[in-house]
Amino acid sequence: MLTKRFETKLIHSVKKGNLPIRSKVTPIYQTSAFTFDNLEDLEGYYQGEGNYLYSRTGNPNPDELGQMVAAVEGAPTGIATSSGLSAILAGILTVVKSGDHIVAADDVYGGSFHLLHEELKQFGVETTFVSFGDLEQVEKAIQPNTKMLYTESITNPLLRVENLPAVVELAKRNDLITVVDNTFATPFHCNPYELGVELVVHSATKYIGGHSDITAGVVVGREDLVEKARAKVTNLGANVSPFEAWLTTRGLKTLAVRMQVQSSNARKLADALRNNPNIARVYYPFEEEATGFGAMVSIELAKTVDVSQFFRSIGWVKLVPTLAGVETTVTHPLKTSHRALPPEAQEALGITNELVRISVGIEHSEDIITVFEQAIEKSLK
């Protein structure tokens, strides 16, 4: 049997069902429930003889999405959820309960920080945030009731590339489960499960969907843990709709071609901007070119630039609170994704008023570079 490489897996990773009508593409099962011919067939579902009952508990379209992402991540199974944050929640609740403790990277997405720092605390789950750039500090933060290490393969918004093999080794030495958000890197650039991570979560709203027209999440990983996560998704009502799942699956099929162009464009933009005297700093994983560098660039504008004027001067680039569509967009982390962080945490991490996060699209690279250079020029004080 021929080995399926990444691009081929994206298209041919899921076996099509043996339906009477041989549709090339999986149909949209836009239904709230499934029917049965008699009570015996209905009882058969509860005895494990049938696949579907009610779309909250299972539907072919979300199932296809979960299995497709699992396949390209190199994981045995996966499930789809209603959003990236619901995927993160399902993954976390699979591992921890009231009275347990998590050690998390201090530079994660602001929504994840709030979930861990505020929401889960109300249910008796405590989190200690430390820099995963110093794994000695991570180990010191581990307590007798610690159950999980939580981080991101590429952090949001400062684009630090996590040393996943070292994190996994530390976790296994301390009998902990590792959960990694792989949204920024995507399976195109990084496969955390193959590095030993037990659970990988995605905001499929971003690169997996790819077109800024859906909201979805995915959890993939170790089979026993994913089955527990599946129960959490079902019982908490965190399932994704069939139509959203179908759209996300359609977007996933073009992930490789999109990421090739977007990552190349991002590298070119980062190289251009780090030579601009009105940029104080460019956040970008320049040293990761051999294994992939992603399509996100963050910049710190110099004090010579009027920040408000910059956002008024970015031409066709949209100012949005999200990322990863095929068009280039920008956001202001201090005012959006990381506004819920305490001011001292924002300052410590470098989430300043001058920080701009750029999601690089598939436009021509020279046009992308030009629009940012002109915006900076127009915004000089």
Give me the residue spans of the domains in the chain. Answer: 61-252, 255-378
Residue 221, C-beta contacts closer than 8 angstroms, at least 6 positions apart: 75, 77, 78, 91, 193, 197, 198, 199, 200
Quick one: pLDDT at residue 340?
A: 77
For 258-279, letters b (16+ CB in 10 Å) and e give bbebbbebbbbbbebbeebebb
| CATH (one of 3.40.50.920, 3.40.50.10470, 3.90.1150.10, 3.40.640.10) for 61-252 | 3.40.640.10
Summarised one tens digit per residue, pLDDT across range 215-227 is 999 999 999 999 9
Cα 346 to Cα 351: distance, rounded to the nearest angstrom: 5
Quick one: pLDDT at residue 135?
A: 97
Quick one: pLDDT at residue 215?
A: 98
Q: Under a CB-based contact definition with an 8 Å cutoff, are residues 339 and 357 in contact?
A: no
Quick one: pLDDT at residue 5?
A: 86
Q: Under a CB-based contact definition with an 8 Å cutoff, are residues 276 and 376 in contact?
A: yes
Q: What is the CATH number of domain 255-378?
A: 3.90.1150.10
Quick one: pLDDT at residue 292?
A: 65
Low-confidence ranges of the chain (pLDDT < 50): 1
- pLDDT > 70: percent of the chain: 97
Query: What's the predicted TM-score (pTM) here?
Result: 0.94
Quick one: pLDDT at residue 22?
A: 80
